[in-house]
Structure 1
Amino acid sequence: MEAKDIEITEITRIANDKITWFETRANACMRLFWVFSVLLGLSSTSLPLFALFTDMGQKNYIVAGLSVLVAFCSFMLQIGNYHMLWQNYRRSEFALRRLRDMTVFHFRRLNAQKSTDENEINKLLQNFYAEFEEIETAETSTYFTTLSPAKDVNPQ
């Protein structure tokens, strides 16, 4: 087995492990997203009904309205959070798949050309690990932390 084949195997193993981790996290976030969506639906209907059918007189309408507002706001925050995490994990998973496939493609191209250029191999490895690290860092970011300034603006 050539050194390039070993590197392809190692890169594929590293990428596949992380892709599996992303898939697991994304699926967990999606399950929680749906659970909180169902809870939002149930609480936004059951809390006001509970408040209206208790013996509190005129205060029932205020309690019912406030309970709807509290349930809606708290669950929408949870739903939005899990949906955003799901998007981040999926985006990272697909970026890592592309990185893995492109790196393996380039290694196989070098194998087909019978290239022994160590500089090119090292450059491929460095690019893989640098981009892998960027993907790992970006996985936990949110929409607001991934916003970048406009490229055409030239700060003076």
Structure 2
Amino acid sequence: MPDRDNSSRAVTVPTCDHGPVTVWEPDWCTGSETEHQPGGYRVDITHTSPDYEFTASTSRGTPVVLRACFEQRPFTECPPGHVPFINVEMDGDWHPHTSNDLRRLSASLMAHADRLRELADRLDGLTNAFDATKETTRAAADPKKGRSD
């Protein structure tokens, strides 16, 4: 049975290949039926936390940019192994992350934020140039503008 660290309760999950399997459930696990997949394979038993949603304010609402949750697969043979990890949903797919992976993702998102600020500055320049051109065009179309009588 997997390590009891950060566990407060044991759950028994019926599996098709190992019969009833008792596992210690981490405190952060929501313990839903879909996570423990009763009747599935032991290797598919998964502990998952609630999602943490990262949103951004836009002119059309506040969409979710990415989601993240704690996850642990106590019987898997695949990376990241038996230890808890953070699963991050981006572009419709989930990507397992270690703590170092999360730090790299954070640095990447900060670089994207810097790039967005650069684009905002460029947009200011384009908008100002557009406004100046519009004023010049208006003044040329109305000869009374700009004269003091």
TM-score when normalising by structure 1: 0.30
Structure having the higher helix fraction is 1
> Greater Rg, structure 1 or structure 2?
2
Structure having the higher strand fraction is 2
